[in-house]
Amino acid sequence: MSTLRVDNLQGQTTGTNRYVVQVVSVEYGTETTSTSSTLADTGLTASITPSSTSNKILVLVHQSAKALDGAGRMNLMRDSTSLEEQYFGESEGGDWYGVIDVIRLDSPATTSSVTYKTQQRTNGAGSVGVNSPITDSCTMTLMEIAQ
């Protein structure tokens, strides 16, 4: 009979103390549209509870969007804090269809639950929408990275 003894087991790449602690992934497939210049939730949202205040959250967003007869803006939010904004569409008018991908490494500095979401608004005229017919659904993936 063989015996396996381990003094220390680490789930990480040699030479680093960073590794993925947990992953949360959501899909959202309902189209939402807006003609307002006020930010409104798109419905794509996910929550994660970090296990350490020093850990970071890698946020990956893949969201289809459209701007009809104008341009729009999508914001990535952590709770009520805006982390990043993406402009899309045609500033001179016309229709635009595309996909917005966001990769953001965030430092929430908490062990309480944090919620990430996207919001949209027009950039003046026209209408905007997410989960447009370009893709079947939009996704948000949250990865807690140990530090």
Q: SS in 3 state form for 98-116?
A: EEEEEEEEECCCCCCCEEE
Rounded to the nearest integer, the mean pLDDT of the chain is 88
Cβ atoms of 26 and 139 closer than 8 Å: yes
Query: What is the per-residue pLDDT across 16-48, written as a single tens digit (0 to 9) for each?
Result: 677 899 999 999 988 899 999 999 999 999 999
Q: How far apart are CA 45 and CA 129, in angstroms?
A: 16
pTM, two decimals, is 0.84
